[in-house]
Amino acid sequence: MDYDTPLFFHVMSYATDADRDVIDMVSGNPDWGSPPGIAEGLHEYADLGGEDFQYPPSEGLVELREEIAARRDVDVSQVVVTAGGGEANYLAMARAMEREAGDEFILTDPVYPYYPGKTTMLDAKQRFVATAEDGTLDPDDVREAASEDTAGIVVNSPNNPTGAVYDEESMRELVEIAEEYDALLVSDEVYDHFDFSGKFTSALTFDSDHRVVTNSFSKSLAITGFRVGYAIFPPDLVDVAKTRHMLTNVAGSRPSQYAVLHALRETTREYYEENRRLLESRIETFTDALDAAGADYTTPDGAFYVMARFPDFPGTLSNVEKLIDEAGVAGMPGEAFGSSRDDWVRFALVTPRAEEAAERLADYFSDR
Ligand SMILES: Cc1ncc(COP(=O)(O)O)c(C=O)c1O
């Protein structure tokens, strides 16, 4: 089987090896720091020792699953705590294939590249549905692509890389389409705390036994290194997913889950609001400078990525390498996200140097 190493790793190592100062706008690691509850939880955990240093329940610490279930208004048995949203998406997609109701995933173009990667790994087929220029998805296009071969429909809102947030009507229809075609809607909601539009609607809003919601604390609590996320499965599908999780991982990381539980209980709304405000102001500064560089760009409704298109400068890997060497700014080539955005470059605004990066880009393109 042919696995492609995500292009991300190539760009990251190219930027690290560059012979100059490079502003990293490739990785999605929040730079604003975790809420204090994370460090407090870790300190508290460090003194427990003994039994608390041994295997946690495979599906996650009971109290963490209860906390998640209460917040999401689902039964605790439906919650599987995973190694980030990455594993949650894998379990959901694998579960869709195991139903033996189709072997094809409907994905969007542009797409978060790990979905086609996982599709290949699961020996499934893929069919892409193009989004609108602003990244929104027309459910009618998904309906047209759906068939009895459809095992799953994988969507992500707020979206990486477009910044689109799907509205309530779209989410409702996506759940309905999954039901109509006996497929599973996999709704990846890892950026749910980063909605600037007020439009975000979780797929959990619509009760259905044809949807799995995946989420993560990586971004919302700024802990991409902790590896804690979760999936919420329909009651009839959850047991097999728990078994796959157990056979793959045995169990998740207990200190990480302990700290997340502590932080969930302690963190106030202000933490999330402050980070949203910080991002909004960064987006404004960055896009203002892109105006100065004569670029087209997307203004995200959510998540933390801006896509930009520079005159006569397609978003190929070699141009991205050029930007690293000549402008000192690292972004992701648009071609990594499917065929529809290959003129574009994606920039992650999770660096305090976003403004400086925009100035570097403006200088670079005004000199060309
Ligand atoms: C859309 C999307 N889903 C899932 C993930 C994986 O996140 P994690 O596994 O750290 O929770 C990311 C990370 O960037 C993402 O952008």
Q: How many CB atoms lie within 10 A of CB 243?
A: 12
Taking CA atoms only, the protein residue closest to ligand 1 atom 16 is 160
Distance 190 CA to ligand 1 centre (A): 6
Q: Domain 36-266 maps to which CATH number in 3.40.50.10860, 3.40.640.10, 1.10.10.10, 3.10.20.90?
A: 3.40.640.10
Ligand 1 pocket check: which of 190, 245, 305 to mutate, most ligand atoms within 8 Å of Cβ?
Answer: 190
* CB of 217 closer than 6 angstroms to any ligand 1 atom: no
The residue ranges of every structural domain in the chain are: 7-34+269-367, 36-266
Q: How many CB atoms lie within 10 A of CB 318?
A: 8
Phi, psi of 75 (to 5 degrees): -75, 140
* CB of 216 closer than 6 angstroms to any ligand 1 atom: yes
In tens, the pLDDT along 123-172 reads 999 999 999 999 999 999 999 999 999 999 999 999 999 999 999 999 99
Please report the atom of ligand 1 found closest to the CA of residue 228. Answer: 11
Q: Which CATH architecture has domain 7-34+269-367?
A: Alpha-Beta Complex (3.90)
In tens, the pLDDT along 212-267 reads 999 999 999 999 999 999 999 999 999 999 999 999 999 999 999 999 999 999 99
Relative orientation angle of helices 238-249 and 84-98, to the nearest 10 degrees = 130
* CB of 160 closer than 6 angstroms to any ligand 1 atom: yes
Quote the CA–CA distance of 203 and 213 in Å, as a whole number.
Answer: 7
Low-confidence stretches of the chain (pLDDT beneath 70): 1-5
pTM, two decimal places: 0.96
Closest CA to 303 of 33, 22, 30: 30
* CB of 120 closer than 6 angstroms to any ligand 1 atom: no
Distance 273 CA to ligand 1 centre (A): 20
